[in-house]
Structure 1
Amino acid sequence: MSLLPVIVGFGGFNAAGRSSFHHAYKRMVIESLPENERQETMLGLAAMMKLVRCENGIYIDDNEQSLTPQEVVSRFSVQILNSTLIRKIEKSHFDVDAVHWQKSITMHSTDKQGICFELTRKQLPDPVPTNWQISDIDTDTVKIEITGEVEFKTDSYRESSVKVAGQLPSGFNPEDHYNARFHPRGLQMAIMGASDAVRSLGMEWKTVVDAVKPDEIGVYASSGMSQLDENGNGGMLQSRLKGARVSAKQCPLGLNSMPADFVNAYVLGSVGHTSAIAGACASFLYNLRAAVEDISNGTRRVAVVGNAEAPVLPEIIDGYATMGALASDENLKRLDKTDTVDHRRASRPFGENCGFTIAESTQYVVLMDDALAVELGADIHGAVSDVFINADGYKKSISAPGPGNYITMAKAVAAAKAIVGDEAIRERSFIQAHGSSTPANRITESKIFDEVANIFDIKDWPVTAPKAYVGHSLAPASGEQLMVSLGVFKHGLIPGIKTIDKVADDVFDERLNISTTDIDKGAGNVDVAFLNSKGFGGNNATASVLSPKIVEGMLAKKYSKQVMTDYETRRDQVREKANAYDQQANQGHFNTIYHFGQDLIDENDIQMTAQEIRLPGFANPIDLNLSNRFKDMI
C-alpha cells in the first residue's frame, strides 16, 4: 500500500516569532484573532524578546515587579508589534547609517620632501616597497620616508542604500539559548529551529528512533548562501584583507551543508540518511521533495526537513542591491512620492513595488510515513502529497523567470485534484505565492496562477504571500509558506497582503483573490495549499499540501475503526505532552536540544554480521539483506 508523508512536528523562528503551534502565523493575522489568542501571542513574544521573564507562570519586568498578563500586553504591545516582522535593520546586525568599509587613498610626496612616518618593525610589509627608505629609530621602531606615491586603505563609513530586513524579534538571540561556541548565526538558528520542531512532536526523540531502523531516518537541510558572517565563510574570505588569521572553524562551518550536519550531530544524534540540497530560493522545497519521495517509496520512515539562513549582512545586501533586486530607500520614497520611508511596508507582493526584502529565518518540519504516525500516536498537522520541480530551459538572464513554473504549478494542481477532487480544488484550496515583491514577479507569477486557474476552472482563488510580513529568507522561504499553511488549516484565516493599498494594474488577477485583509474561511474549511517558489537560476518548485481533515479521511479508509480509535487515544497523550512544551516555550524557555560530545558511539562496540549491523544505543539493527534491484536485467 502507498505511504503518505504526514507532518507530525514543525517549528522554527523568523521575524514573526516562533513557528511551532502556529505562533508566528498568529502574529501575521493578529488583528483577526480572538482576544485570548491575541493575548497569548503577545505574551509569548514578550518573553521571547526578554521584555519580561516568566517564572512559574508569573511575569516579572526589569524592576522585579510582577505583572498580570493583561498588564504585560498593555505595557508592551506597541513595542512588540513594532519590533517584529519587517523593519529597519537594527544595530545588533550592523549600522545601516554607517556601514564600515575601506577607502583607497593615494598619497603623493611633495617636491621638497617625502612622506615620513614611524612604524614598529613588526608592521613593515614584506617585501618592503622599493620607494620606501627605512632608517632605525631604536630596536623596535623604524622611520619610513616615501618618495613618489603610495596607496593606503583607511577606515570609512557610508550609508547603506538598503536599510530594511526581516529580522528575528528584537531582543531574541539564538546564541543565548545554548552553548553556541562561536557558531555562525545561521547554524545557531538551525539548532534552534530543528530543536523547536522536534520538541513540538510531543514525544521523546528516542521513542521515534527506537521505533525504526537507524537508516530509516533522514535529515534534509541546507542553506542557500552558506554561512557568510564573521564565524563562517565571511570571516574566512575577509581575513587576508583585514590582516587577520583564519580560524579553524570558519571554513568547515561555512559549508552550506552544515545545517544538516549540525542537526545530525547535535540535535538528533542520527546515523541515518543525510542530504543537503540547494536550489536558491526553492531550497526548502527541493529538500522537501527528496524527503517526500524517500518516505513514499519506503526508503525512509522519518524525515527532518528544513533550512536556516542568516543573510542580514552588509556584503549580501550589497550583492543583491547591486543587482537591483532589493527595495532601496530611494526607490521606496519614489514609489510613495514622499521623503519618508515606511520600512514596515517595504515588501509589497503583487502591489506597486520595487524589490524584495532580505530576511533571516529557520524553519523545520518532521515527517513520518502514515503507518508510523498511527503506531506512535503522532499528531498529524497535514501531509505533503507531491512536490514538483522544473527548470526554465534556455535562458537569456540567469535570474529572470521562465516557463518551468507553469509546469510545476499545473502539475501540483492536477496531482491534488486527483486526490481530493474538483470541488476541493475549486472551493477549498489556496496559493502560497513566491510573492517576492519585484515588478517582474508580480506580473509573471500572477499570469501563471491565472492561467492555471483558467484550465482547472477555478474562480476567486485566494492568494497570499508570507514575504509581505517576514521578507525573503532565501532557502527557508517555502518553509515559511508551509508554516503559514498549517496555521490556515487550523484556524481558517488566510493572511491578507496588508502592505499594499491595492493590487497593481499589471497583475493578472481575473480568477484570483489577492486580498489586502485576512480572508476568513473558517477553521477546518481549507483542504489544500499550493506552495510556489521561483528561485534564481530557474529553480521552480510547487508543492501540494493536504489539510489534516483530508488526511484523517484518507487514514480512515486505510485503517480499521479499532486501529484509528487506538491511534486517537495515543494521540491525546502526545498532544498533552506537546502542549506542555508549548506553554514552556511561550514563557521563553525553549529547552533547546544541543548534545555536544554526549552519547558518542564507541566504534569498538559496533557489531557486524553479513546480515545486519548493530550500533550501541539503537534498539534496531541496520539490515544488510538487500535484494537485487536489477534482477530483471540479470
Structure 2
Amino acid sequence: MSALPVSALPVITAIGGISPAGRTACHHGFHRLVMDALDSTTRERTLHALSSLMPGAPGADGLLQGTLIRRLENNLFDADNVGIHVNARASAPLVLEMRDMDLPSPVPASWHVTPLGDKRSRVAIPAGAELLLPATRRSRVQSAGQLPSGFDPAALYPSRHHPRALQMAVFGASDMLGMLGIDWSVIQRRLAPQEIAVYASSAMSQLDDNGFGGVLRSPALGRRITSKQLPLGFGGMSADFINAYILGTAGGTGGMLGACATFLYNLQLGVNDIRSGRRRLVVVGTSEAPLVPEVIEGYRAMGALGEDETLRQLDNSDTADHRRACRPFGFNAGFTIAESAQFAVLMDDALALELGADILGAVPDVFVHADGPKKSISAPGVGNYLTMGRAAALARQLLGEKSLRERTFVHAHGTGTPQNRTTESEVLDRIAEAFGISHWPVTAIKCYVGHSLGSAGGDQLAAALGTFATGILPGIATLDQIAPDVHADRLTLSQAHTRPGKQDAALINAKGFGGNNATALVLSPERTCALLRARHGENALCTWQGRVKGTRAHIAAWDAHASAGQTKPVYHFGEGVIDGQDLEVSDSHVRLPGWAHPLPLEDDKGFAEYLQND
C-alpha cells in the first residue's frame, strides 16, 4: 500500500484590513483592543497609526472615543432621522406637477394629465388614491461597530460610485499587500497563474445605494436604477476587484457565503487548495458593510440586535451605554452590528521559506458542518460540536495532549445574544470535558468591534495572531458578571486582559445563521516553525531566517509610511489590460504577458488509473 502524500502546510504570511479598531496590518487593530495592556511605546505607535485614519481627531481621547463600538454617527445615515414612507389615502382630489420623464407608462386610468410645456405636466389624482408620504423615524438601534470616525475609504482612490464594502476591500487588500513585504512582481516571476487564487466575498452582498440597495430602493423613491448598481452589488465582487485592480492576477477566483461563518468558509477554500497542492498562494477574505438602515431594521425585527431601550433596562439607567452594547456571556440583549474588511495571504510552507515570507502562523485545517435536522432555520443545532471536536482533535494530533490542555485558547463567536451565550458555552464546555481540559481560556472580541457578520471570523483571526505576537489575550471587557445560564465549568472567562503564557494554538469558532458552523485551528508562529523544521530541516529554517530579515525590514518601512498617512490603496484601474491577441497559445501551454511561467496544459495525473492502456 502506497504512503499517503504529505500535505503542504498553509502558512499565514500577511494580514490586512480595516475595522472599528483601525488598520489590521502589523497588529495595529489588535493593539487598539488591548490598549490599556500595552507598553508606552506600542501605545504611542497605535495612536499614531489611528491618527492617519482619523483626520481632525482631538488628541488621544478623540482617537479612542472614535473607534470600536459606539453610537451611530451621521457619516453613513442619520439614526435619529431614518427616511421612511408612510401609507396614506387622499381624502380629496390632489393636483401635482412633475417632469414628463417621471410619468409612469402607462399612465394610470384615474390620472388626468395636462401638459405644461418645458417637459413638465400637471397631474390631477382623484380622492381615495393610495399614497406613500416621505417621513422619518428614530432608529431603535443606535449602537454599531463603525470604522474609525472620519475615515473615508472612498476618498483614498478613484472609487467611481463603488459600494462601501468594495471601498473597504480595496483598502483592506492593499493593507494586506503592505504587510506581505514582498513585491507582487516577485510572486509573478515565481508562480504560474494557476498556482494563485483569490477567495473573497461578503455575506450580505453590497446593500447600500451604490449596490443592490439602490436597485431595490430606487424605483420606490422615484429614482432611476443606474448601470453600475446591479453588477457592483454581487457578493463575490470583492474577489473580482482584488484580481482585476489590486493584484492583476489571472488565477483561480471565487468566494463562499456562509452567513456569519463566511470568512472561515473562504479560509477553508484556501487551506484545501494549498494542502492538496492545487495552489501555492491564496488570498482569502471578506468585506462587509451592513450599516444600512434596512439591514439594521431587519435584524432588529428578528429580535437579534440590542435596542437602546433594552440596554437601558439592563443597566437600570435613563441612557443607553452604546460603547458597552455587546456583552458576550453576560447579561445581554442582542448583538451589535458592525462593518469590517479582513484579508490574509496563505502560502504553502515551501514557498514561504523560499521567498523569505514572514510567518505569522499556520492554518492546518478549517472544519465546517451543518446542523442536521432543525426546528427552525435560525435555531442553533449540533454542527458546532462537530467542528469544535475535530479542531480539538487535530490540535491534539499536531501539538500533543499537554499542549492542547494547557497552551490553547478559544476565540468564541460570542455574539452577545442570550441564545448564543447558552448554546456556544455549552459546546465549548462539553468539548473541554471530552478532551480533559479544565481551564480553557475563552475570549470574545465582538465586545470591542461588534459583529461584522461575514467578516467576523477575520476579526477573530487577526486578534488570534495579535495574541501570538504580544502574549496578550483580550479580556471580555463588558463581562461584569457571567450569566447564570452560561456553561463555564471548564472555561476561563475573564473581563481583564491576561497574559496566559506561551500559547501554541487558537481555535476560532463561528456559528452562522442557517446552520453554518465553522472552526479553524490556527497555530502560533513558533509551533509553525517547529513543524517546518521537522519537515524541511534545520538548514532550510536557517536560510529562511536570513531571508526574512529583509522582508521584515520592508514591512517596517511600509508600515512607517502607512502610519504617517503617506501611502494610498493599490488600485490599477485600466492598467496593463491584455486580450487574447496578447497571449501565446499552444496545445501544451498558455503564456500571459507579465508572468514568467506559462500556464501548462498537461495531463491530470489524478485520472491516470481510469485510463485503459491500448
TM-score normalised by structure 1 residue count: 0.93
Alpha-carbon spacing, 1:472–1:606, altered in 2? closer, same or farther (3 Å): same
Task: Confirm whether residue 108 of structure 1 aligns to residue 91 of structure 2.
Answer: yes
Matched, 1:572 2:549: yes
Instruction: Give the structure 1 partner of residue 585 of structure 2.
Output: 608
SS of match in other structure, 1:520: coil
Task: Report if the CA contact (8 A) 1:345-1:500 is conserved.
Answer: no
- From the superposition, tell whether residues 126 and 432 of structure 1 become closer, same or farther in structure 2 (CA, over 3 Å): same
- 3-state secondary structure, aligned to 1:462: strand
State which of 567, 570, 573 in structure 2 corresponds to 1:593.
570
Q: Is the 8 A contact 1:220 1:303 kept in 2?
A: yes
Tell me, what secondary structure is at the counterpart of 2:389? helix
115 and 623 in structure 1: CA distance in 2 versus 1, 3 angstrom threshold: closer
For 1:154-233, list aligned pairs within 5 A.
154-233=133-212
Residue 574 (structure 1) shift: 0.5
1:553 aligns with 2:530: yes
Which structure 2 residues correspond to residues 5-404 of structure 1 after superposition, within 5 A?
A: 5-51=10-56, 76-109=59-92, 114-116=93-95, 124-133=103-112, 144-404=123-383
Q: Aligned AA for 2:399?
A: V
Q: How far does residue 141 in structure 1 lie from its aligned partner after superposition?
A: 6.3
- Letter in structure 1 aligned against 2:414: G
Structure 1 residue 566 displacement after superposition: 1.6
Distance 2:88 2:222 in 1: 18
Kindly tell me: are residues 468 and 600 of structure 1, through their superposed partners in 2, closer, same or farther at Cα, counting changes over 3 Å?
A: same
Taking the aligned partners of 2:413 and 2:531, their CA distance within structure 1 comes to 29
Partner deviation per Cα, 1:231-290 (whole Å, 9 max, x = no partner)? 111111112112221111111110001011000001111111112111110011111011
- Inter-partner Cα distance in structure 1 for 2:605 and 2:7: 22
Q: Which residue of 2 aligns with 1:55?
A: none
- Evaluate the alpha carbon distance shift between residue 577 and residue 151 of structure 1 in structure 2; reply closer, same or farther with a 3 A threshold: same
Matched AA of 1:359:
A
Deviation (angstroms), 1:39: 1.1
Deviation at 1:81, TM superposition (A): 1.1
**Contact kept? 2:188, 2:594, Cα under 8 Å:** no
Which of 496, 499, 504 does residue 527 from structure 1 map onto? 504
Cα distance in 2 for residues equivalent to 1:48 and 1:351: 33
**Does the aligned pair in 1 maintain the 2:16–2:23 contact within 8 Å?**
yes
Q: Please state whether the residue corresponding to 1:200 is helix, strand or coil.
A: helix
Aligned counterparts of 2:107 and 2:325: Cα–Cα separation in 1: 50
Deviation track 1:351-387 (CA, whole Å, cap 9, x = no partner) reads 1111111100000000100000000101100000110
Structure 2 residue 558 is matched with structure 1 residue 581: yes
Q: 1:318-370, CA deviations, whole angstroms, 9 ceiling, x for partnerless residues?
A: 11111111111111112112111000000111011111111000000001000
Distance 2:533 2:146 in 1: 42
Contact 1:48 1:587 in 2 (8 A): no
Contact persistence 1:28–1:495 (CA under 8 A): yes
| Alpha-carbon distance in 2 for matches of 1:138, 1:257 | 47
Q: Give the distance between the partners of 2:472 and 2:311, measured in 1 at CA.
A: 29
The match for 1:627 is: 604
1:43 Cα deviation after fit: 1.3
| 2:594 corresponds to 1:617 | yes
Shift of 1:393: 0.7
Q: What residue ranges of structure 1 are gaps of 5+ in the alignment?
A: 53-74
State the match for 1:406 in structure 2.
385
Give the drift of 1:51: 2.9
Equivalent-residue separation in structure 1 for 2:443 and 2:161 (angstroms) = 38
Correspondence 1:457-536 to 2 at 5 A:
457-522=436-501, 525-536=502-513
Per-residue CA deviations over 1:460-491 (Å, capped at 9, x if unaligned) read: 11100111110011111000100000000011
CA distance in 1 between partners of 2:529 and 2:143 (Å): 42
Give 2:3's aligned residue: none
DSSP 3-state at the match of 1:505:
coil
Contact 2:533 2:540 in 1 (8 A): no
C-alpha distance in 2 between matches for 1:124 and 1:249 = 24
Mind listing any 5+ residue stretches in structure 2 that lack a counterpart? Answer: 1-5
Q: Deviations over 1:404-440 (max 9, x none)?
A: 0000000000011100001111111000000011100
